[in-house]
Structure 1
């Protein structure tokens, strides 16, 4: 049985998390009626997207190698332009989407570990590829949250990386022998049937920091497992960015490249964005009809998640039926997970018989 990396419990239209450091501290998908879902009826009754789109109604992805300073840039830029900042999705992003009080076990979050990847990237249990596929799914879900927020409120979003740039890690893993060729083929098949459903970022900002400098910064990290990341792996990420991702994304998105010193001048970065013409890419072809269909897609998180699953055997992401059954019922036995949200007496839900 192929391992489904998404729990079958994402409520349709589930609200995303509120970023702890978000510039605007309201919930993602903020509106005066954020508890109401958008649907066909809303469109029939006159709900339209284009009237709320303004100058900075954009999706901006800030990319770069590990510890390149992209996070600080993204947060400052969001603050400067009045946009929503969404930190980079981690392996527990799904828990934040579903409003868990704390991270659940890795058994319910892709059965993978980032720490294990950096300490044992060639682990025989296939952790490296499970992590890569899980992170692509989390980035896809976060990107759907960003688009939903943009189209619902008109407020732009600044992200750290996106599912469009996720492939740089896959290429780096393969270059270093961490994953097999069959994993690359599987990933590309998954990406080809999923990424085509989404529009690329309006702007990609790339922070160019040499791999040698990245390694020096990682050695000063408070996380021990990041202090010994191989230089060859960091160079592979940098090479993939420059030879694969940046040339490709520049065809459909505005591309700005800065070195580590230039990104300190946030005024200059904001000014460069103001000078962009935005005269290319699929966003130019959109209207209220296509925005309507886009909103319907990104609101249905279960459908977005299902885009990353194909019935194909691959040892790295395949588990037996008994193990799957065991993990499924272990999840359902957690407090508040037996029934749909609002129907679980064990977590204090009231008046269930009236619902």
Structure 2
């Protein structure tokens, strides 16, 4: 499977989370092999999660159509509430996790292109579904990062979209005939066996902007590949949000909805959140034991990535053994990739024999 290569490049333990969110400081045993990480012994010796939770120790996702203003709302709200903001992941989110200075080639990032999707959504090479499945993986990894940040620091996290709302794009692609029904079945199977391992956001905020206005904003964005996004595709995303995602997520999470003007009033949105009682959803059933189990999962990004791997043939996401080997050895030939982090003399790593 094309996506299996994701496990080859994810750092071990919490190093992936730290690479995305903070600069790691030197300390005792910080080499790639002997890095300190949370585990069973930490829990046995008294490490607990609930004492660090405060009023806004929550996971909040801000959802909406393309160019709906959700990013500006999420960032402003995070600043207002003292929460950690995570912008929407792109196809190169894995490079951020591994701390790459420059994005690697698309061969090592899902073999898909967002620009190609918008210019040729029915591409014969299967780019559309490959992109959709890769983005679900990136959202899942980011969501694991968000939960790890929450459980480790007690600081809440605000995300742009989440793996729970990722399906709106799949439904829109399917309605517009961009992907085959076999791809829809595969995606649903993948999601069913992976999303169940995670708790939904405490709160979902939906920014409601009509598809016509979204299309107008896209044309004004200055990005050439967004100039001709079909209105029907944007309407399908909007319909999927309102008919599928919002009714479903409201069963387990608090839900707030605003139009474009209301979403700009950060004081009002923050006040609405303050009045929420958060009296429903699976988060209420958690304790230090389940938080420990959750933390063990989300810090192991290899395990998170493996949740989406099933042995099923689909031309859109499957490559041959020879092509896989070619890409594998091409990756290993990159500077600093032959051995584990800290053990590559070609990028200046020193005292390797002492580690």
TM-score (norm 1): 0.95
Q: Note the 1:1-355 alignment, pairs <5 A.
A: 3-13=3-13, 14-16=15-17, 27=22, 36-355=36-355
- For residues 278 and 133 of structure 1, the distance between their equivalents in structure 2, rounded to whole angstroms, comes to 31
Q: Is the 8 A contact 1:7 1:108 kept in 2?
A: no
Other structure's SS at 1:103 match: coil
Deviations 1:196-254 (A, max 9, x none): 00000000000000000000000001210011100000000000000000000000000
Q: Distance in 1 between matches of 2:309 and 2:16?
A: 22
CA displacement at 1:15 relative to structure 2 = 3.0
Give the alignment's Cα RMSD to 1 decimal.
Answer: 1.7
CA distance 1:251–1:29, shift in 2 (3 Å): farther
Q: Distance in 2 between matches of 1:149 and 1:312?
A: 33
Equivalent pair of 2:57/2:155 in contact (CA under 8 Å): yes
| Conservation of the 8 A alpha-carbon contact between 1:15 and 1:28 | no
Asked whether the 8 Å contact 2:19–2:99 carries over to 1, the reply is no
Deviations 1:150-172 (A, max 9, x none): 00000000000000000000000
Q: TM-score, normalised by structure 2?
A: 0.95
Separation in 2, partners of 1:117, 1:241 = 21
Mapped to 2, the partners of 1:282 and 1:29 lie a distance apart of 32
- 1:16: Cα distance to partner? 2.8
SS across alignment from 1:256 = strand
Q: Distance in 1 between matches of 2:212 and 2:69?
A: 14
Check conservation: 1:92, 1:103, Cα contact below 8 A.
yes
What per-residue deviation string (whole Å, max 9, x for no partner) do you get for residues 86-107 of structure 1? 0000000000000001100000
C-alpha contact (below 8 Å) 1:39/1:296 kept by paired residues: yes
Structure 1 stretches of at least 4 aligned residues deviating more than 4 Å after TM superposition: 32-35
CA 1:29 to 1:209, structure 2 compared with 1: closer, same or farther past 3 Å?
farther
Whether contact under 8 Å (2:144, 2:299) holds in the other structure is: yes
How many pairs are equivalent?
348
Q: Distance in 2 between matches of 1:229 and 1:340?
A: 42
Q: Secondary structure at the match of 2:9?
A: coil
CA distance in 2 between partners of 1:66 and 1:80 (Å): 24
Cα pair distance change 1:53/1:18, threshold 3 Å:
same
Q: 1:91 to 1:2 in 2, by over 3 A?
A: closer
Superposition deviation, residue 277 in structure 1: 1.1
Give the conservation status (yes or no) of the 8 Å contact 1:201–1:253. yes
Q: Is there any run of 5+ residues in structure 2 with no aligned partner, and where?
A: none
Question: Structure 1 stretches of 5 or more lacking a match?
Answer: 20-25
Which stretch shifts more, 148-157 or 36-45? 36-45
Partners of 1:210 and 1:306 lie apart in 2 by: 37
The offset of 1:12, in angstroms, is: 1.9
Cα distance in 2, alignment partners of residues 97 and 208 from structure 1 = 31
CA contact (8 A) 1:218 1:226 kept: yes
SS of 1:206's partner is strand
How big is the shift at 1:5?
5.0
* Stretch deviating more after TM superposition (10-19 or 308-317): 10-19
Contact 1:17-1:99 within 8 A present in 2 as well: no
Deviations 1:7-38 (A, max 9, x none): 4131222233667xxxxxx72899x9996310
